[in-house]
C-alpha cells in the first residue's frame, strides 16, 4: 500500500506545523507545573524541575529561574505550596553571602571609607 493512502478512502490531511508563540520557527512549549527545586552547585543558581504540558516524564527538565520569567504565577504557586526548608534557606543564603563577599573582595571600590 503506498504511503499516504487510506484503505477506507478517507481523505488524508497534510502534516501540520507546530504552533509557535510569536509565529517564529521555534516551537512554543507550555509549562504544566513545577515538580521540584534545587540550587545548582555549578552555577549557584536556583533551578526548577519543569513538567511540560502534553509531554511525558522523560521530557522533564531542570531550568534556571532566569529562564522562567514568563511563569511568575506558577513559580509563586509552587513556592506557596512548597515553601523553602530551613536547609534550602541556609544553603541559598550561604551562596548569596559567598557571592556578595567575592564581589566585595574583588571590587576596586573601598566600601569601608566611612566606617
| DSSP notation for the chain | --TT--TT-PPPPPPPPPP-SSSSSSPP--EEEEEEEEE-TTT--EEEEEEETT--GGG-EEEEGGG-TT-HHHHHHHHHHSPPPHHHHHHHHHHHHHHHHHHHHH-SS-TTTT-
Domain presence at residue 16: no
The answer to whether position 78 is within a domain reads yes
Parent domain of 72: 31-105
Of residues 27 and 82, more confidence is placed in 82
- Residues 47-92 pLDDT 10s: 899 999 888 888 899 998 888 888 888 888 888 888 877 777 777 7
CATH number, domain with residue 42: 2.40.50.40
pLDDT over 70 (residue 100): no
pLDDT given for residue 60 in this prediction: 92
Q: Which residues of 42-51 are buried (b: 16+ CB within 10 A; e: fewer)?
A: eeeebbbebb
Q: What is the pTM of this model?
A: 0.56
* Within-domain flag for 15: no
| Backbone φ, ψ for residue 52 (5° rounding) | -85, 140
Give a yes or no: residue 35 inside a domain: yes
Indicate the number of domains in the chain.
1
Indicate if the pLDDT at residue 109 is higher than 80. Answer: no
Is residue 87 included in any domain, yes or no? yes
Q: Is there a domain that residue 20 lies in?
A: no
Mean confidence (pLDDT) of the chain: 72
Amino acid at each position: 500500500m503506498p504511503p499516504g493512502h487510506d484503505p477506507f478512502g478517507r481523505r488524508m490531511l497534510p502534516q501540520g506545523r507546530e504552533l509557535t508563540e510569536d509565529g517564529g520557527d521555534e516551537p512554543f512549549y507550555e509549562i504544566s507545573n513545577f515538580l521540584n527545586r534545587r540550587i545548582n552547585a555549578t552555577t549557584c543558581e536556583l533551578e526548577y524541575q519543569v513538567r511540560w504540558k502534553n509531554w511525558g516524564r522523560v521530557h522533564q527538565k531542570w531550568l534556571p529561574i532566569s529562564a522562567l520569567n514568563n511563569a511568575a504565577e506558577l513559580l509563586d504557586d509552587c513556592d506557596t505550596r512548597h515553601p523553602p526548608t530551613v536547609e534550602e534557606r541556609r544553603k541559598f543564603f550561604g551562596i548569596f553571602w559567598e557571592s556578595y563577599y567575592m564581589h566585595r573582595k574583588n571590587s576596586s571600590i573601598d566600601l569601608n571609607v566611612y566606617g
